[in-house]
Amino acid sequence: MDRTVRVLGVPMDLGADRRGVDMGPSAIRYGGLADQLEALGMACVDGGDLAVPRPEERDPDADQPSGGRAKFRRETGEVCQDVRTAVRATIDDGEFPLVLGGDHSIAIGTVAGAADPDESLGIVWFDAHGDFNTPQTTPSGNIHGMSLAAILGKGSFADEAWAHTPAVSEENVVLVGLRDVDDRERDLLNESDVTAYTMSDIDARSVPSVVEEALDIATDGTDAIHVSLDLDWLDPTEAPGVGTPVRGGVSYREAHVAMEYVAERREAIRSMELVEVNPILDDHNRTAELACELAASAFGKVVL
C-alpha cells in the first residue's frame, strides 16, 4: 500500500456496558502502532481523537425509538456522524483511515464514511458477536451489539440517516468467528443474506479457508471493502483486555494468518478499524500490543 495511513481515535464507550474502552485508542498508540507501520516503510500520521460526550453527563434513555431501546442513541448518532466526516475527509485526501475504538458502535460511522454513495462496499467483520440486534430485539440496549444491523438498516435503524448505509448490500457482508449470538439476533441473521462463519466453521475448515472465502464474498462485485476487527474475536487467553470476552476464540497464530490473508487483498481495502480494547481489563497492555501486531500483519508484515 502506497497510501499514507491516518490514525483516527474514537474514545467511545457510550455503546457498551463496561467503562474503559474509551481508553482504547491511547492504549493502542502506546502499544506501538505507528512504529509497527513505519517499520513496514509506510507513512503514518495521527489525526488525533474525536470528541465523545461523557456518559455521566447524558441520559442513556433519552430520545428512544418506538418499541425499542438504544442507550445513548442521540449521542451515538452525533459521534458516528463525526466519524463519517473524518473518514470521508481522509479518503478524499488520498489517505487510508485506520480507526481506533472505542466500542464497536463506531463502525457505523466508519462504514458510512468509507462508502461512496455511487459505489458498493463489502464488509468483513471479525467478531465473537453478531452485532445484529436492533432496538427492538436487544436484551441490553447497548448499541455496540447493534452496529452491523444499523449499517444494514435493520429494525428502526432503517429510518436513521446516520446509521443505515445503502451502499452496503447484505450479500457482501461477512461475519467471521461467531460464538456468542442472542436468540432473536440469530433469527435476524438467518433471515438475512449476510454470510456468517462460526468458530465451528473455522474448526472444521481452518482460518485460511474461511477467511479467503469471506474476502471473496466481500469483494464480489464491490468497489472496495471495509475490515472491522473486534479484539474479542480472539480467545481471552490471548486478548484479555476486552469488555465482552468469550471463550473459544481464535489463537494468536490464527489471528495473524487471517490478517495475512487480508493483506493479500489490501489494494481492495478502503478502511479498517480496531475496536473494543479495554486497558482497564488488560494485562500489561497485552491486548493493545496485539492489536498493533495484527494491524501490521494486515498491512503486509511477514516473517520472510
How much of the chain, in percent, has pLDDT values that exceed 70? 100
The SS3 call for residue 216 is helix
The grid cell for 215 is: 474476502
pLDDT of 184 above 90:
yes
The reply, when asked if residue 230 is annotated as ligand binding, is yes
Could you give all domains of the chain from N- to C-terminal order, each with its CATH number?
5-298 (3.40.800.10)
The predicted structure's pLDDT at residue 225: 98
The predicted structure's pLDDT at residue 39: 96
* Cα 11 to Cα 134: distance, rounded to the nearest angstrom: 23
Confidence tier at 295 by pLDDT (50, 70, 90): very high
The reply, when asked if residue 127 is annotated as ligand binding, is yes
**Average pLDDT of the segment spanning 188-199:** 98
* Cα 51 to Cα 61: distance, rounded to the nearest angstrom: 21
Catalytically active residues, by annotation: 104, 127, 129, 131, 144, 230, 232, 276
pLDDT of 132 above 90:
yes
pLDDT of 57 above 80:
yes
The predicted structure's pLDDT at residue 17: 81
**Average pLDDT of the segment spanning 91-110:** 98
pLDDT of 242 above 90:
yes
pLDDT of 1 above 80:
no
Condensed to tens digits (0 to 9), the pLDDT of residues 272-287 reads 999 999 999 999 999 9
Within a 10 A sphere around the Cβ of 160, how many other Cβ atoms?
Answer: 18
* Cα 237 to Cα 101: distance, rounded to the nearest angstrom: 21
How much of the chain, in percent, has pLDDT values that exceed 90? 93
Condensed to tens digits (0 to 9), the pLDDT of residues 67-98 reads 899 999 999 999 999 999 999 999 999 999 99
pLDDT of 188 above 80:
yes
Confidence tier at 154 by pLDDT (50, 70, 90): very high
Sheet of 173-178: strand order equals 44-49, 5-10, 96-101, 269-275, 224-230, 121-126, 173-178, 195-198
* Cα 117 to Cα 99: distance, rounded to the nearest angstrom: 20
Within a 10 A sphere around the Cβ of 32, how many other Cβ atoms?
Answer: 17
β-pairing verdict for 96-101 and 269-275 = parallel
**Average pLDDT of the segment spanning 239-251:** 97
Specify the amino acid at residue 274.
L
